[in-house]
Copies of this chain bind each other. A is one copy, B any other.
Amino acid sequence: MWRAEIKVLLKKSVLDPQGRAVENALTSLGYTNVNRVRIGKYLEVTIATPDRAAAEAQVREMCTRLLTNPVIEDYTFTLVEVEA
């Protein structure tokens, strides 16, 4: 069993309104040393398969088919082996 930890962010070239709003908020709260705030999605999915390679392939497939929209989003993920 694997837990896929998937991070999804808008492509760098795409406007990230949330990120901008939060960056402004942080600055006005006095955190003037922050920048490049980006806000996206975080997903955890547990996959029952013995084999890491199979798990990786499946995550990629699920990301392109359902979990993300490649048109505007990029994703990265890591696999953590977990107990059933």
A residues apposed to B, CB below 8 Å? 3, 5, 7-9, 22, 25-26, 29, 31, 33-49, 58, 62, 65-67
B31 close to A62 (CB less than 8 A): yes
CA distance A39 to B39 in the complex (A): 14
Choose among B22, B34, B66 the residue that contacts A47 (Cβ–Cβ < 8 A): B34
Q: A22-B43, A62-B26 are in contact. Are A33 and B8 (CB under 8 A)?
A: no
Contact assessment for A42 and B39 in the assembled complex, using a CB-CB cutoff below 8 Å: yes
Determine which of B35, B41, B48, B65 lies in contact with A46 in the assembled complex, contact meaning CB atoms within 8 Å.
B35
Given contacts A5-B7, A7-B5, are A31 and B58 in contact (CB under 8 A)? yes
Inside 8 A of A41's CB, which chain B residues have their CB? 39-42
